[in-house]
Amino acid sequence: MKALVKATAGPGLSLTDVPDPTPGPGDVVVRVLRTGICGTDLHIDSWDDWAAHNVHAPLVLGHEFVGEVVETGPAVTGVAVGDLVSGEGHLVCGACRNCKAGRRHLCANTRGLGVHRDGAFAQYVVLPEENAWVHRAPVDLDVAAIFDPFGNAVHTALSFPVLGEDVLITGAGPIGIMAAAVAKHAGARNVVITDVSEHRLELAREVGVDLALNVAERTVSEAQSELGMSEGFDVGMEMSGRPIALQEMIGNMAHGGRIAMLGLPAEEFAVDWSAVVLKMLQVKGVYGREMFETWYSMSVLLQRGLDLAPVITHRFDHTSFDEAFATARGGKCGKVILDWTGAR
């Protein structure tokens, strides 16, 4: 089969032939239809320090995908040939305390599809049955391909109740924009999203945020005044990983406010813990998706009219992966999709 491969340690990818995957007893084989390009894929492509320390070549990339099940192992009971599935890319051990307690998203032994084992940038991918989310209702293939990052957004956005609350989201990347759409859909009063990219802020306006704020030009405090707020934001979602963003968020939270952090900082930085204590703030780290409560919420949100179409801005055939990766790296885009339906 054709696959997009990190053949050797170093920058660059190649579209090449690799053996078809074979399922174990509890696995399913999926014919890939669409894939989404993630920041992790960009790291592996460029072979930065993170990739050099965490990835072993050769490796088939990719963990955001949708496809059709074409083969199942003999122990598979809940997934059938012909099912349309998206994949949960976190592969858990099933044996640790958290896994046995049903808290699989907290497994300390998690391995990543397309990071630690061959992934979905290929004609076929194999994964455990429990990691295959079957779409029981009609869903757009491009949207189904990005259920992984959509899940990050939903996990973050629903970490705390947002009904009637004022919400601040720092970082208008695709996940931040999807989180904003979820918060509005779930009944937030005001949703403010910040960034320095007007292109990304315009995408956020398309999903209906109340204010898309360029923090290179105006402050979050000014946003409060513009919206008639006086006591600060009730819920914060930090998506950027930038120190100044969290610091600004803490300074603009209401007393008793709650912050969900998904953005991963590149280095340690100072936090005004006195403000956290005196305002009695809650700060929660968020990673991946709750398996599989978040997936259920995603499907229901789409069935009840949540529109993610503005987030998907570019589509390429898989053979144009160089252009697709360059587009994703350039930043003037939302989610970038690779189409594998014509792969031979």
d(CA 169, CA 191): 7
Is the CB of residue 129 less than 8 Å from the CB of residue 71? Answer: no
Please indicate if the annotation marks 256 as binding a ligand.
no
Spatial distance between the Cα atoms of 77 and 55, rounded to a whole number of angstroms: 33
Tell me: is residue 333 an annotated ligand-binding position.
no
The annotation status of 262 as a binding-site residue, yes or no, is yes
Residue 43 appears among annotated catalytic residues: yes
CA proximity to 208, closest of 232, 183, 226: 183
Selected catalytic residue, list 40, 110, 156, 170: 40
Are 125 and 67 in contact by the 8 Å Cβ rule? The answer is yes
Q: Is 222 annotated as a binding residue?
A: no
Q: Is 263 annotated as a binding residue?
A: yes
Nearest to 209 by CA among 201, 199, 217: 201
Q: Which of 261, 264, 270 is nearest to 241 (CA)?
A: 264
Residue environment code for 191-229, b if the CB has 16+ CB neighbours within 10 A, otherwise e: bbbbbeeeebbebbbebebbbbbebeeeebeebbeeeeb
Q: What is the DSSP string of 214-273?
A: ETTTS-HHHHHHHTT--S-EEEEEE-S--HHHHHHHHHTEEEEEEEEE----SS-----H
Residue 63, annotated ligand binder? yes
248 labeled binding residue: no
- Beta-bridged to residue 35, according to DSSP, are 65, 338
Catalytic residue among 43, 135, 199, 314: 43
90 is catalytic: no
**Half-sphere exposure at residue 117, Cβ-oriented, CA atoms within 13 angstroms:** 13
Count the helices and strands in the chain (H runs, E runs). 12, 18
Backbone angles phi, psi at 187, to 5 degrees: 100, 20
Residue spans of beta strands (DSSP E) within the chain: 2-6, 14-17, 27-36, 59-60, 64-72, 84-87, 90-91, 111-112, 124-128, 132-134, 166-170, 190-195, 211-214, 233-238, 253-261, 282-285, 312-317, 335-339
Query: Which active-site residues does the annotation give?
Result: 40, 43
Could you tell me which residues are annotated as the binding site for NAD(+)? 175, 195, 200, 262-264, 286-287
* Residue list for the binding site: 38, 63-64, 93, 96, 99, 107, 175, 195, 200, 262-264, 286-287
Tell me the binding residues for Zn(2+). Answer: 38, 63-64, 93, 96, 99, 107
